Amino acid sequence: MKLRHGVTLLELMVTILILAILGTGLTRLLTSQARFYEHQGAGRTARSVSRAAVNVLLSEMRMVEAPGGVVAASPTSVTLRVPFAVGLVCGPVAGATTLTLLPADSAMLAEPGFSGYAWRNNAGAYTYVEVGAAIGNSVPAPCTAAGVTPVLGGRIVAVAPALPAGATAGTAVLLFRRITYDFANSTALPGRLALWRRVQSTGAAEELVAPFDASARFRFFALDAADAQDAAPPLANLRGLELVLVGESEGSPRITSAPRRASVTTAVFFRNKL
Amino acid sequence: MSPLNARFIARRGVALPMVILIMVLLTVSMTAAFTLNSNEVRVVDDQQEQLEAFALAESGRERYLAERASFGFTGEPAVSESVRVVLTNGYADVVVRRMRGSTATLPGLYSLQSRGVRTVSRRAGVPPAARTVGQFLMWQVGSMNVRAAWTSLSGLRKNGGSGTLSGTDVCGAMPNVSGVAVPTSPGYTQNGGASVPSGTPPIKDLGPQPASDDSVNIDWAGIVNGGVLTPNITIPGQGWPSFADPNYWPIIKVNGDFTLPGDGRGVLIVTGGLTISGARHWDGVLMVGGNLTSNGNNGVDGTVVTGLNRKLGQVVPQGDVGNGTKTYRYDSCKVARALQSLSALVEYRNAWADNWASY
């Protein structure tokens, strides 16, 4: 009789028990790991939301001029005259004024939405011109005539209406766009809050980043004040913004059943100020 | 081998496959976690490096402006000048280009480009972070709000009608000023002869004291305490210089009373009283804390301001011009030349750019 190998019922039960114990442990391990990674991933997303917002805002807001660069301000919305180029007056040309600009980021220069220009008087204060403002290319001749050598790589443009006679050759000029940054409902993530960038003259609205917690807001640095305040001061006294960016994860990890939040608070001060 | 032994050897267990499975799962999980965290670290690192590069660019710009002379640059810049400012963990390449040279009536204009570059080692294949900022600069000449050929915050008394106290610009480059500028009381008094001062107007009333003290925009406290300007020569401590070189226009500061030992030019600052005897002559600017006592037929071409210690709250008696044929004339060219050493390359405020194209 051939010897047949087999397992006893006892062996089978012990094996099943051991496998059950191991399987349960493994499943729990994998489940907890998955939740942990989900939790961590949500945190990373939330931090990424906050960081992305900081990058966009800082580079544009630094060049804002004070006291004339802020048009409106509230905890959820600020409208700024954001300079995208700085130049010097060369001279008049056919109802306009020719400027030589410092070399500027081409994407910033090319973006539509020119709102106007501001020219600086001898005391350092800027006068903003927006009504009927237009910009176009110009030629170096007015600069040559004024003895002003354009900067290598910088553009030569003409702005209308022409600057007043007091704005002689060498007067500094800012070219700007009116831009509103606000926390409003997201279209990418309905029901959530997004940071928007809206170019006033074109109506172009760009959802910069989402989602944010409802506590994300702007705070304000007033003239001669060391700390930021919640309420916007008189606009002429506004010298900088504190950005309270409370980013959220898109989903809610199962561990917390609520979106993860990551708060980044930073400040940006207007560098072109008296 | 007996069948029994073969049976034991041939049996397969689950322990090893299970261990391998778990190790694979853990390895995959750890790799995924490591990758995710590495990506975040890289993003944060890039952002931090960008901020550091911005700080380097700004530091280079500010250090160049504050310590331009220490980089070997003096006077008004030529067509261009550049310097690498070495900083902690990086450097800034500062390039200044002339856009308009100075003229008699217009300041020189320059563009400044400061490119901050980090030098700390980064991940393989990742370029160093760099950021460029820009600004307009201007060549600011030393200037002085000249009110008169002779401005005396303590008033002025002249004996006789001889001499010249003229606010008519000798070199004709600037509008004429007054011959003398004095407070309402004590004002300008003259003992005999026709009134000597001439100019536009001949005698300027600075108003009553002490408000008249503020009409002269000179930071006398800063000058006396040594914080506002750096003299070329300080007396006592150093000797009276030679003026053989006609292009030598020093700033001389004298602490205390002083008697002018010879002719000269430049800016002479005397914290006490100044006495000029004989036929001495000075070209440029005289600033005197006390009174100027003039004995003889001496003169100044430029401008004179006396009684400045009143701005420190001190009592200064009315100045006495004394006898003799004095010639004190306003000369804007000599004033400008004397103040030339106070010129500096300064930032054209409110004209700073963060988006200088650096590609």
Q: Would the CB atoms of B109 and A152 count as touching at under 8 Å?
A: no
Question: CA angle B147-B149-B154, nearest 5°?
Answer: 75
The nearest alpha carbon in chain B to A30 belongs to B25
Q: How far is CA B154 from the centre of its chain?
A: 30
User: What integer is the mean pLDDT of B283-293?
Assistant: 91
The nearest alpha carbon in chain B to A35 belongs to B29
Q: What is the pLDDT of residue B1?
A: 47
Q: Would the CB atoms of A147 and B100 count as touching at under 8 Å?
A: yes
Which of B230 and B168 is assigned the larger pLDDT?
Answer: B168
| DSSP codes of every residue in A107-161 | HHHHSS---EEEEE-TTS-EEEE-TT-EEEE--SHHHHHHTPPPPTT--EEEEES
Cβ–Cβ < 8 Å for B303, B146: yes
Q: Would the CB atoms of B100 and A152 count as touching at under 8 Å?
A: no
Structure tokens at B140: 């600011």
The nearest alpha carbon in chain B to A32 belongs to B29
CA-wise closest residue to A47 among B34, B51, B29, B44: B44
- The DSSP secondary-structure symbol of A9 reads H
Which residues of B lie inside 8 Å of A (Cβ-Cβ)?
3, 7, 14, 18, 22, 25, 29, 32-33, 36, 40, 43-44, 47, 97-101, 103, 106-107, 109, 111, 134, 136, 348-357
Q: Would the CB atoms of B354 and A169 count as touching at under 8 Å?
A: no
Q: Would the CB atoms of B100 and A83 count as touching at under 8 Å?
A: no
Average pLDDT taken over every residue of chain B: 86
Q: End-to-end alpha-carbon separation of chain B, Å?
A: 79
Q: Would the CB atoms of B100 and A5 count as touching at under 8 Å?
A: no
pLDDT exceeds cutoff 80 at B324: no
Q: How far is CA B339 from the centre of its chain?
A: 13
- The DSSP secondary-structure symbol of A237 reads G
SS3 A228: coil
Q: What percent of chain B has pLDDT over 70?
A: 94
pLDDT exceeds cutoff 70 at B3: no
Which chain B residues are closer than 8 Å to A120 by Cβ? 350-351
- The DSSP secondary-structure symbol of A229 reads B
Question: CA angle A196-A200-A202, nearest 5°?
Answer: 105
Nearest CA of chain A to the CA of B224: how many Å?
28
How many contacts does A have with B, using Cβ atoms within 8 A? 106
| Chain A contact probe: residue of B16, B42, B355 with most A CBs at under 10 A | B355
Q: What is the pLDDT of residue A159?
A: 95
* Segment A12-67, tens digit of pLDDT: 888 889 889 988 988 888 888 778 777 777 777 777 766 666 776 788 899 999 88
User: What integer is the mean pLDDT of B100-125?
Assistant: 86
Q: Which residues contact B200 (CB under 8 A, 6 or more apart)?
A: B167, B168, B175, B176, B177, B178
CA-wise closest residue to B204 among B164, B157, B158, B149: B149
Phi, psi values for residue A189, rounded to 5°: -125, 80
Q: What is the pLDDT of residue B76?
A: 85
* pLDDT category of residue B298 using cuts at 50, 70 and 90: confident
d(CA A60, CA B153): 50
* Omega before residue B236 within 30° of 0, cis: yes
Q: What is the pLDDT of residue A54?
A: 72
The nearest alpha carbon in chain A to B44 belongs to A51
Q: A246 exposed, middle or buried (CB, 10 Å; 0-12, 13-18, 19+)? A: buried
Q: End-to-end alpha-carbon separation of chain A, Å?
A: 108
Q: Would the CB atoms of B354 and A271 count as touching at under 8 Å?
A: yes
Pairing of strands A77-93, A172-185: antiparallel
Q: Would the CB atoms of B352 and A172 count as touching at under 8 Å?
A: no
Tokens 């925009």, residue? B217
* pLDDT category of residue B11 using cuts at 50, 70 and 90: low
Q: Would the CB atoms of A172 and B350 count as touching at under 8 Å?
A: yes
Cβ–Cβ < 8 Å for B221, B308: no
* ipTM reported for the complex, 2 dp: 0.79
Q: Taking each helix axis from N to C terminus, what angle separates A9-61 and B15-66, rounded to the nearest 10 degrees?
A: 10
d(CA A118, CA B52): 31
How many residues can be counted in chain A? 274
| Chain B contact probe: residue of A102, A108, A148 with most B CBs at under 10 A | A102
In this complex, the residue of B47, B107, B351 whose CB is nearest that of residue A86 is B351
Q: Would the CB atoms of A19 and B351 count as touching at under 8 Å?
A: no
| Torsion angle of C-alpha atoms B110, A89, B146, B232, degrees rounded to 10 | 0
pLDDT exceeds cutoff 70 at B7: no
Tokens 């580079």, residue? A59
- The DSSP secondary-structure symbol of A24 reads H
d(CA B295, CA B278): 6
Question: CA angle A248-A250-A256, nearest 5°?
Answer: 70
In this complex, the residue of B40, B44, B350 whose CB is nearest that of residue A273 is B350
d(CA B359, CA B150): 57
* Omega before residue B186 within 30° of 0, cis: yes
Q: Which residues contact B24 (CB under 8 A, 6 or more apart)?
A: none
Q: What is the pLDDT of residue B12?
A: 63
| Chain A contact probe: residue of B350, B356, B358 with most A CBs at under 10 A | B350
Nearest CA of chain A to the CA of B285: how many Å?
26
* Segment B201-224, tens digit of pLDDT: 999 998 888 888 888 888 888 888
Nearest CA of chain A to the CA of B262: how many Å?
41
SS (H, E, C) chain B: CCHHHHHHHHCCCCHHHHHHHHHHHHHHHHHHHHHHHHHHHHHHHHHHHHHHHHHHHHHHHHHHHHCHHHHCCCCCCCCEEEEEEEECCEEEEEEEEEEECCCCCCCEEEEEEEEEEECCCCCCCCCCCEEEEEEEEEEECCCCCCCEEEEECCCEEEECCCCEEECCCCCCCCCCCEEEEECCCCCEEEECCCCCEECCCCEEECCCCCHHHHHCCCCHHHHHCCCCCCCCEEECCCCCCCCCCCCCCCEEEECCCEECCCCEEEEEEECCCEEEECCCEEEEEEEECCCEEEECCCEEEEEEEECHHHHHCCCCCCEEEECCCCEEEECHHHHHHHCHHHCEEEEEEEEEECCECCC
User: What integer is the mean pLDDT of B40-68?
Assistant: 87
| pLDDT by position in tens, chain A (length 274) | 556 667 788 888 888 898 899 889 888 888 887 787 777 777 777 777 666 667 767 888 999 998 899 999 999 999 999 999 999 999 998 889 999 999 988 888 888 999 999 999 877 889 999 999 999 999 999 999 999 999 888 999 999 999 998 888 999 999 999 999 999 998 888 888 988 999 999 999 988 888 888 999 999 999 888 899 999 999 999 999 998 988 888 777 777 777 877 788 888 999 887 6
d(CA A222, CA A216): 20
Between the CA of residue B338 and those of A31, B252, B268, B285, what are the distances in Å? 83, 11, 9, 7
Question: CA angle B23-B24-B27, nearest 5°?
Answer: 85
Element (H, E) at A21: helix A9-61
Q: What is the pLDDT of residue B43?
A: 77
* Segment B241-254, tens digit of pLDDT: 999 988 899 999 99
Nearest CA of chain B to the CA of A274: how many Å?
7
In this complex, the residue of A44, A85, A120 whose CB is nearest that of residue B350 is A120
Q: Would the CB atoms of B33 and A37 count as touching at under 8 Å?
A: yes
Nearest CA of chain A to the CA of B94: how many Å?
15
Q: What percent of chain B has pLDDT over 90?
A: 39
Pairing of strands B281-288, B299-306: parallel
In this complex, the residue of B99, B350, B355 whose CB is nearest that of residue A272 is B350
Q: What is the pLDDT of residue B124?
A: 77
Please tell me which of A47-56, B92-101, B334-343 the model is most confident about, judged by mean pLDDT.
B92-101
Q: Would the CB atoms of A51 and B100 count as touching at under 8 Å?
A: no
Q: What is the pLDDT of residue A82?
A: 94
